[in-house]
Structure formats: structure tokens, C-alpha cells
């Protein structure tokens, strides 16, 4: 019974992501999710209170699987190499995402305050902590002071990666990532360290 329930939930979440990528959040309907997942709407509403909660669960599950495929890089003993490892993992995770899904979600957030609130609370805050392990290790090694503001580091990185992946179409190769670390992230970290 438990396996059947888990399989049904996976089918519902997969159908949700597929429809979100195909038709966008605004046009996605719960009855279409139920039909595609071969589940009843009652089954869906017993587990999720509405479309925003269902979409958020589906995205969280998808993100967790992507993170498992791209774990936090190991400690290299050097801040630059740690940042480069983290930015590579972020790039690989982003490139593994469905562009339609991401763009549909971002568009929907502009028009659905409830969805935007859930996404910001669940996903964006997590992304702001993307560099924490690398910064923590640098603090332990004495490379950086404690209390360093880290939020901008992740925001700048995410914005540049997203822009290249979905807006400009320019390459997200290792040469770009090294340039991003050397010319943007390290100077930003050093400037913030000087402000601390």
C-alpha cells in the first residue's frame, strides 16, 4: 500500500512538472494533472491544499534530485578553488533544469503572490546559502573574517549564470566560470571582507 501511495505521489509530481513546462503555471489545471497522473483530483487535494503547494512540492523534489546529482564540492584547501567548484555545481544544476519549467515558474511568480511567497521562502533562501560551505572553510583557514555577508555572492552568481543560460545564450564553459570567480566573485568577497 505504501509503495503504491509513493508511486502515485511521484506520478502526480512528475505530471505537475511536465504540465508546468508545457503550458505554464497560469494555464495548468488540477484536473489536467490528475488526468496525466491517472489519479483523482480528490487524491491530489487530500495531499496538497492547492496548485501553489503542489507546484512547490514538485519543484522541491526536482531540486533535491538535482542537488543529489551535484553535491557540494569537496574542500580543496583554497578559497578560489572552492568557489570554482561551487559555481561549476551551480552551472551543472542549472543546465540540468528544464528552461520552460524555470521560465514558467518565474513568470507565474510575478502574477501569483502566494506562489511567489512559497518559492521565495523555499528556494531562493536556499540558493543564498550556496556558498556557505566554501566561505565557512575559508573562515576556518583564516582566509576570511567571520561575519562576512554572503547573500550577494550567491545572487550575483545566480544572476550571471541564469542570464547566460536563458537570455544571452553565451557559453557557460569552464573559461567563463574561472573568469567569473577571478574577476567578480573573489573581488566581491575581498571587498566584503574589508567591510567586515
Does residue 73 sit in helix, strand or coil?
Answer: coil
The dihedrals phi and psi of 144, each to the nearest 5 degrees, come to -135, 155
How many separate domains does the chain show?
2
110 shares its domain with 190: yes
3 shares its domain with 91: no
44 shares its domain with 135: no
- CATH code where residue 152 lies: 1.10.357.10
96 shares its domain with 166: yes
Average pLDDT of adjacent 10-residue blocks, the chain of 196 residues: 77 91 86 94 92 85 66 82 91 75 77 78 69 90 86 88 89 96 93 74
136 shares its domain with 97: yes
| CA 49 from centre of chain | 23
Domain contains 127: yes
Find out whether 149 and 155 touch, Cβ atoms under 8 Å. no
178 shares its domain with 113: yes
pLDDT at position 126, please? 66
The burial class, CB within 10 Å (0-12 / 13-18 / 19+), for 125 is exposed
The burial class, CB within 10 Å (0-12 / 13-18 / 19+), for 110 is exposed
The total number of residues written for the chain in this structure: 196
Domain contains 136: yes
pLDDT at position 153, please? 87
Joined together, the cell numbers standing for residue 140 give 576556518
Domain contains 30: yes
3 shares its domain with 79: no
Find out whether 91 and 177 touch, Cβ atoms under 8 Å. yes
pLDDT at position 72, please? 65
pLDDT at position 47, please? 93
Domain contains 163: yes
CA–CA distance, 181 with 158 (Å, rounded to integer): 12
Domain contains 65: no
- CATH code where residue 39 lies: 1.10.10.60
C-alpha closest to that of 153 among 108, 107, 187: 187
CA–CA distance, 180 with 161 (Å, rounded to integer): 10
80 shares its domain with 114: yes
Domain contains 62: no
pLDDT at position 58, please? 87
* Dihedral over alpha carbons 149, 150, 151, 156 (to 10 degrees): 120
pLDDT at position 80, please? 95
Find out whether 189 and 151 touch, Cβ atoms under 8 Å. no
20 shares its domain with 97: no
Q: Which domain holds residue 75?
A: 70-195
Amino acid at each position: 500500500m505504501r509503495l503504491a501511495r509513493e508511486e502515485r505521489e511521484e506520478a502526480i509530481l512528475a505530471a505537475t512538472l511536465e504540465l508546468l513546462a508545457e503550458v505554464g503555471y497560469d494555464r495548468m489545471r488540477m484536473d489536467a494533472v490528475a488526468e496525466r497522473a491517472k489519479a483523482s483530483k480528490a487524491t491530489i487535494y487530500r495531499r496538497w491544499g492547492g496548485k501553489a503547494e503542489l507546484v512547490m512540492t514538485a519543484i522541491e523534489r526536482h531540486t533535491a534530485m538535482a542537488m543529489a546529482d551535484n553535491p557540494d564540492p569537496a574542500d580543496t584547501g583554497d578559497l578560489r578553488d572552492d568557489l570554482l567548484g561551487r559555481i561549476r555545481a551551480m552551472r551543472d544544476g542549472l543546465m540540468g533544469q528544464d528552461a520552460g519549467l524555470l521560465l514558467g515558474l518565474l513568470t507565474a511568480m510575478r502574477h501569483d503572490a502566494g506562489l511567489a511567497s512559497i518559492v521565495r521562502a523555499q528556494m531562493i533562501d536556499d540558493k543564498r546559502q550556496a556558498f556557505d560551505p566554501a566561505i565557512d572553510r575559508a573562515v576556518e583557514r583564516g582566509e576570511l573574517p567571520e561575519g562576512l555577508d554572503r547573500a550577494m555572492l550567491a545572487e550575483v552568481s545566480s544572476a550571471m549564470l541564469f542570464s547566460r543560460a536563458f537570455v544571452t545564450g553565451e557559453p557557460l564553459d569552464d573559461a567563463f566560470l574561472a573568469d567569473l570567480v577571478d574577476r567578480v566573485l573573489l573581488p566581491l568577497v575581498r571587498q566584503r571582507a574589508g567591510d567586515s
